[in-house]
Homo-oligomer: A and B are copies of this chain.
Amino acid sequence: MNATLNQSVMAELLSPQELFTHWQGHRALTRRTILAFPEKELFTFSIGGMRPFSQLVMEMATLAGPGVKGIASGEWVPIDHTGGAQRPTTKEELLDYWDAITEEMNTYWPAIEPARFLKVEKAFGAYEGTNFSTIQYLIDNEIHHRGQGYVYLRALGIEPPAFGDR
């Protein structure tokens, strides 16, 4: 294999912009998954002692927003999955919270200096790895928990949004 060609090929496929578009595509699908839940079940329905989908969504949101800010600035704050004072208690508030995170990500992502993706840091003051690997983890974690939301929806007799539709 030709290492240089290798690298230029992969670079063209996964620029920071491509990575961000991929992530926001996943987040748009997660938003449609939130929309598919009835309000009550969004906050209460659970299988096998797991967290309701609203709490899984808060985990994703409170990692994504502060994650992008941390990577852009190098300043990490500990994770708080509750959302603090803005903690959503209705479906509309949860969607608003989600949309505010989307805007925050749109603002901070372009401010990430390219070399920052390579940097090894303790994300959220706790998880050591390159900032790129942190982003990869956040996307994987969102797919994982959204897939669980799909099971909740099926158990409630509701058709989830099409997985391939991003």
Q: Enumerate chain A interface residues (CB-CB to B < 8 A).
A: 1-3, 5-16, 19, 22, 26, 47-50, 110, 114-115, 117-118, 130, 132-133, 136-137, 140-141, 143-148, 150-157, 163-164
Contact = CB atoms under 8 A, between A and B. Distances in A.
Nearest to A1: B114
Tell me whether chain A's interface is mostly helix, strand or loop, or mixed: helix
Contacts of A26: 140
22 contacts: A1-B114, A6-B114, A7-B8, A7-B15, A9-B114, A10-B16, A10-B114, A10-B132, A22-B136, A26-B140, A48-B151, A48-B155, A49-B154, A141-B163, A143-B143, A143-B144, A143-B147, A144-B147, A147-B147, A147-B148, A148-B150, A148-B151
A50 B29 CA distance: 20
Pairs A-B, 6 closest by C-beta atoms: A48-B154, A147-B147, A7-B11, A11-B11, A144-B147, A151-B151
